[in-house]
Amino acid sequence: MHVKTGDTVQVITGKDKGKVGTVSRIFPKASKVIVDGVNVQTKHQKPQNEGEAGQIITREAPIHSSNVMLYSEKQKTVSRVCYTIQDGKKVRMLKKTGEILD
């Protein structure tokens, strides 16, 4: 996957297009990610015990990783990722700005 946990990304398609957030969790087999503050859904939860009231819970749902691009805080722009060798190690780099991620 081109994103990792902790990366800052921007949503490029869908109802949350343009929102910027941090990747909190990834699901590599499904190619999905959970981004903080993006794709927030409400869930109605039944009462657990008798006499309790039900609750409405908001949580982030996963979105496909192809719908996000890495975001550069310095340049305020999105970019694809490329890989380069630096000091004998393979590191991720933003293609547009040249900023090293790892």
Give the model's pLDDT for residue 51. 87
pTM here is 0.85
Give the model's pLDDT for residue 19. 96
C-alpha to C-alpha distance for 79 and 16, rounded to whole angstroms: 18
H/E stretch holding 55 reads: strand 55-60
**By three-state DSSP, how is residue 65 classified?**
helix
Check whether 85 has a pLDDT greater than 80: yes
The pLDDT tens digits of the residues spanning 13-65 come to 999 999 999 999 999 999 999 999 999 999 999 998 988 999 999 999 999 99
